[in-house]
């Protein structure tokens, strides 16, 4: 028989072969990741030594947090994606951002520098617009800056007047405002979206107070600073910056301090409207509130003045860094389903390869 005689069956076998290979490769990757995290014992935060470590604890922000773009939640890392669901699917937004944070356990803490980390954190928001174009429940687009000051103080209780106002606002039908984002300037019409395309919103994030497990490298902060460029050897931007700094130093034009180079931007809290020292601003600008405590500025600077010998958790020159949700036991089970699908993919690949070979040789 000729291969044309098989028709759709040939296409089905070919598609099964490709799908099986994809599942098999993903299964191998999941197996490799599980072996990596299982091969390293959990270390205590008060007894860390330089080198590869596996630690677990609770996320604690340092001075400020990020604000997620789709649900406006305080976090230290997020990945958000918005795409259309019509015939011509388009990605409208694909954003990922992380910042340094502390990992605190019952026996100590360590600063985490997550540059280049792999985030094994599940999606917490995955919704679509309705058939009328109405936005999904839970969507709360971020307005304003992506950063917010963080405090460990408990929120104050609402007064009776504030509580009544909140109840009234909750029971009042609100008109949806026009979105200010580049990916959503169309606004809403009487029947929802002004376009015929639906949208899918997805967001994963890591919030303060969540338990995580990290597999990475513990090493002195001074060494981490020296190899930042080595983490991205192919990045022309980093090389350009390094060349500019070297040239400025040679010509004697390099600023002697952050304050001289950046001005107000060097003041902790200035970018979020909470400066710890008096900034130089236009006389007609709104006056900013400065803390009465003169030591507040020095305390804020000390939080970012990391001693070179202090151990921090980051990725290494050759090894990576992975952040898993949950305890070490939960982290090692993270890829179990992918591994099972990989085994299924291997079996599917073998069967489809046998069937395809039989069709090509005419033995089927």
Domain assignment of residue 17, given as a range = 3-154+177-227+314-361
The tokens describing 279, both together, are 């900034």
Distance CA 227, CA 211 (A): 29
Could you give the angle at the alpha carbon of 112 between the alpha carbons of 45 and 147, nearest 5°? 135
Digit-coded pLDDT (tens) for 296-328: 777 777 766 788 888 999 987 667 888 999 887
Q: Which of 162-166, 340-344, 351-355 has the lowest mean pLDDT?
A: 162-166
Residue 311 backbone class (left: φ over 0; alpha: ψ -120 to 50; beta: rest): beta
Considering Cα of 190, then 195, then 198, then 200, what sign does the dihedral take?
negative
Number of folded domains in the chain? 1
276 domain-assigned:
no
**Residue 112 belongs to a domain:** yes
pLDDT higher than 50, residue 212: yes
Does 309 map to a domain? Answer: no
Distance CA 236, CA 292 (A): 45
> What predicted TM-score, i.e. pTM, was given to this entire model?
0.64
| pLDDT band, residue 179 (cuts 50/70/90) | very low
Taking 60 as the threshold, does the pLDDT of residue 152 lie above it?
no
Q: Looking at the domain assignment, is residue 281 inside a domain? A: no
Q: Which helix (H) or strand (E) holds 344?
A: helix 336-361
Residue 179: C-alpha distances to residues 69, 70, 87, 147, 357 (Å): 12, 12, 24, 19, 55
Task: Assess if residue 235 is contained within a domain.
Answer: no
- What are the residues whose beta carbons fall under 8 Å from the beta carbon of 331, sequence distance 6 or more? 37, 120, 213, 324, 325
Kindly state the average pLDDT of the residues 36-56. 79
Stretch 160-189: mean pLDDT: 49
The answer to whether position 13 is within a domain reads yes
The CB-based long-range contact list for 285-294 (8 Å cut-off, 24+ gap) reads none
The pLDDT assigned to 89 comes to 82
Q: How far apart are the first and last CA of the chain?
A: 8
Characterise 26 by phi-psi region: left (phi > 0), alpha (psi -120 to 50), beta (else): alpha
- Range with the poorest average pLDDT among 101-110, 128-137, 253-262: 253-262
Is residue 260 assigned to a domain?
no
- Dihedral of CA atoms 72, 78, 82, 85 in degrees, nearest 10, equals -120
User: Who wins on pLDDT, 40 or 219?
Assistant: 219
State the average pLDDT for the chain.
Answer: 75
Q: 133: left (phi > 0), else alpha (psi -120 to 50), else beta?
A: left
Whether 244 is covered by a domain: the verdict is no
Residue 339 in this model has a pLDDT that exceeds 70: no
Share of the chain above pLDDT 90, in %: 22
């Amino acid at each position: 028989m000729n291969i044309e005689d098989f028709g759709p069956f040939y296409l089905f076998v070919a598609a099964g072969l490709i799908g099986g290979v994809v599942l098999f490769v993903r299964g191998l990757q999941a197996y490799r990741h599980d072996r990596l995290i299982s091969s390293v014992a959990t270390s205590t935060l008060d007894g860390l030594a330089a080198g590869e470590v596996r630690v677990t604890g609770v996320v604690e922000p340092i001075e400020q947090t990020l604000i997620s773009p789709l649900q406006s939640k305080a976090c230290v890392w997020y990945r958000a994606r918005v795409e259309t669901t019509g015939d011509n699917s388009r990605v409208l937004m694909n954003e990922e951002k992380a910042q340094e944070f502390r990992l605190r356990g019952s026996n100590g803490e360590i600063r985490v520098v997550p540059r280049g980390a792999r985030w094994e954190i599940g999606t917490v928001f995955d919704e679509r617009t309705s058939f009328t174009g109405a936005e999904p429940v839970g969507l709360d687009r971020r307005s304003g800056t992506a950063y917010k000051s963080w405090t460990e103080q408990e929120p104050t209780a609402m007064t009776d007047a504030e509580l009544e106002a909140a109840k009234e606002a909750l029971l009042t039908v609100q008109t949806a405002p026009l979105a200010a984002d580049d990916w959503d300037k169309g606004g809403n019409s009487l029947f929802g979206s002004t376009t015929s395309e639906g949208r899918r919103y997805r967001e994963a994030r890591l919030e303060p107070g969540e338990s995580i497990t990290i597999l990475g490298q513990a090493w002195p902060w001074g060494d981490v600073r020296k190899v930042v460029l080595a983490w991205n050897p192919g990045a022309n931007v980093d090389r350009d910056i390094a060349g500019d700094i070297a040239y400025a130093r040679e010509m004697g034009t390099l600023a002697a301090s952050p304050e001289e180079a950046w001005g107000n931007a060097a003041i902790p809290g200035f970018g979020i409207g909470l400066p710890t020292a008096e900034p130089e601003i236009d006389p007609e600008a709104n006056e900013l509130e400065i803390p009465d405590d003169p030591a507040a500025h020095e305390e804020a600077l000390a939080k970012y003045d990391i001693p070179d010998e202090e151990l921090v958790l980051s990725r290494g020159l050759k090894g990576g860094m992975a952040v898993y949700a949950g305890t070490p036991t939960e982290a090692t089970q993270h890829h179990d389903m992918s591994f099972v699908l990989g085994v299924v993919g291997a079996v599917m690949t073998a069967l489809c390869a046998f069937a395809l070979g039989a069709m090509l040789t005419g033995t089927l």
